[in-house]
Structure 1
Amino acid sequence: MSDSLDDRIIAALREDARLSSTALARRLGVSRATVHNRMARLERDGVITGYTVTLGEAYRAGQVAAHVLVEVEQRLTAQVTGQLGRISAVQALYAISGDYDLIVVLSAPSTGALSQLLDRISELRGVLRTKSSVILETKLQR
């Protein structure tokens, strides 16, 4: 269970995951040992599962991104999810409710490459249908 300090640590790391324990402690007005211990607990408890790179607009501008809705044959959901997870262009994968079962977030270097990825996904065993939307502009990303 997290508390206010945990939430402040998480918020600061979401802004800059490269902050050292010392810099984080200074920013939050607590000791470095407190920050270190809290972060270790947050990691151990699975609250923080990793630290990642956020790609800048300059890099993303050269990429074509899309959301793909995927309807899956129910008994093959685990197999389809595993196959999608092995595609490096898949940036995120969400299980959803409604007419479709999954949302796949893709990133590709060109529309041609994106088209090939969409074909590859639609041909996976267990995929019944897909519906894709190309992302034109990112308005907010945290």
Structure 2
Amino acid sequence: MAVDALDTRILQLLLQQPRTSVREYARILGIARGTLQARLDRLERDGVITGTGPALAPAALGHPVLAFVHIEVTQGHLDEVGDALAAVPEIVEAFSVTGGGDLMTRVVARDNAHLEDVIQTLISLPGVVRTRTDVALRERVPYRLLPLVESIGRTAAN
């Protein structure tokens, strides 16, 4: 789905001021509230906007350790292992990947001992052959989409 210049302005505003009302967004953008609402509805329907909930910090929730665990899976068991990963609360994301493993997970833990326990849980899942863990030391670029949206907006404006 292509986004136009107005869509990118809307997305930029949502990212910059996420707690503002639709009425205020419309005022800032200089468009009718109904126009804005229709655009927001379409962006949600098309999967561009995927949520409106708060972003939470696992570290502030008592889980400051972040690791990326690569999981090698027995051939033909990717779906079963993927389903089993959903039952592990410390896994905050999981992706099928190419390269040195079949799955890559983002795991949070209270401390290194807790991380080891989580890894042992993963290793014991049926279909898991082996894991490889990379512990994150420091976040260098936080998750962000504003620069991407701004780049798309510049392209859409041309």
Which TM-score band (shorter chain)?
0.7 to 0.9
Residue in 2 aligned with 1:80? 81
Equivalent position amino acid for 2:64 in 1: Q
- SS of the equivalent of 1:136 reads coil
**Superposition CA RMSD, Å:** 2.1
Larger relative contact order (CA 8 Å, sep ≥ 6)? 2
The answer to whether 1:103 aligns with 2:100 is no
Residue in 1 aligned with 2:71? 70
Equivalent position amino acid for 1:134 in 2: V
Q: Which of the two has higher C-alpha Rg?
A: 2
The answer to whether 1:115 aligns with 2:119 is no
Q: Is the 8 A contact 1:63 1:110 kept in 2?
A: yes
Stretches (4+) displaced over 6 A: none
Q: Unpaired runs of 5+ in structure 2? A: 145-158
Number of aligned residue pairs: give it.
142
Taking structure 1 as the reference length, the TM-score comes to: 0.87
Report the Cα offset of residue 30 of structure 1.
2.1
Q: Is the 8 A contact 1:17 1:52 kept in 2?
A: no
The 10-residue stretch of structure 1 (83-92 or 130-139) with the greater mean CA deviation from structure 2: 83-92
2:16, 2:107 → 1: CA distance?
Answer: 24
Residue in 2 aligned with 1:129? 130
The 10-residue stretch of structure 1 (59-68 or 105-114) with the greater mean CA deviation from structure 2: 59-68
Taking structure 2 as the reference length, the TM-score comes to: 0.79
Percent identity between the aligned chains?
A: 35
Report the Cα offset of residue 58 of structure 1.
6.7
2:27, 2:7 → 1: CA distance?
Answer: 15
Residue in 2 aligned with 1:31? 32
Equivalent position amino acid for 1:59 in 2: A
Q: Is the 8 A contact 2:66 2:106 kept in 1?
A: yes
- SS of the equivalent of 1:87 reads coil
CA-to-aligned-CA distance 1:89-123 (integer Å, 9 cap, x gap): 11111221112111100111222211111110111
Residue in 2 aligned with 1:12? 13
- SS of the equivalent of 2:51 reads coil
2:124, 2:16 → 1: CA distance?
Answer: 39
- SS of the equivalent of 2:125 reads coil
CA-to-aligned-CA distance 1:13-38 (integer Å, 9 cap, x gap): 23343332122223333222222111
